[in-house]
Copies of this chain bind each other. A is one copy, B any other.
Amino acid sequence: MKVLVVGANGQIGKHLVSFIEDSDSLEAKAMIRNKEQASFFENLGAETVVADLEQNIETIAKAADGVDAIVFTAGSGPHTGKDKTILVDLDGAVKTIEAAKLAGVKRFIMISSFDTSREAIQAAPSSFAPYVAAKHYADEWLKSTDLDYTIIHPGALTNDKRTGQVKAAFEVDRGEIPREDVASVIVACLENETTIGKEFQVVTGTNPIKEGINSI
């Protein structure tokens, strides 16, 4: 199964491409914004393709040529300019979803924010609310398609070392999770079709990742 990683050069993305290349059943195609970012991925044995989320759907669909799944882990982050929040976190995500349809790629994994509900937009501090809203509308768009989606809502991201253990369910108490473990959760979803059509929150817990994901 070949996987287009959108946002490969991000912190989760780099772990993810590495773990995909470690897997027997998966291979990665890293979507990057410029050629200078390629060597990191080529050293891992991964294919690369240059494309930008601010380009059009057709360009992104071309990047998805020949893959079986797409992981959207790009993000302007909650602290970039709010213009990028709407153009990358919302519109970039929607264009990637539409590109998946155009390229005939059914499997789509979205890395969302911990809580993207309507209530979470209202409750968020004003500096964070636009980001939550962008992620909310991207998730809603994906759920309205007939793609084989999984939406992952990770807790507060840290750069701590991987624990390999999670708590995952439609709703869990707020907590942290290392980015490395999020990457492992994504791989576990790619390898487990029971995650199709589901969304779940995930934080560090006491279940080995494969088991934790299988129980959602």
Which residues of A does B touch, CB under 8 Å? Answer: 55-57, 81-83, 85-87, 90-91, 94, 118, 121-122, 126-127, 129-130, 133-134, 137, 144
Contacts and interface: CB of A to CB of B under 8 A. Distances in A.
Contacts of A144: 144
Contacts of A56: 118, 122
A77 B134 CA distance: 18
Contacts of A127: 83
Contacts of A130: 82-83, 86-87
A101 to B, nearest CB: 13
Contacts of A85: 82-83, 86
Contacts of A133: 86-87, 90-91
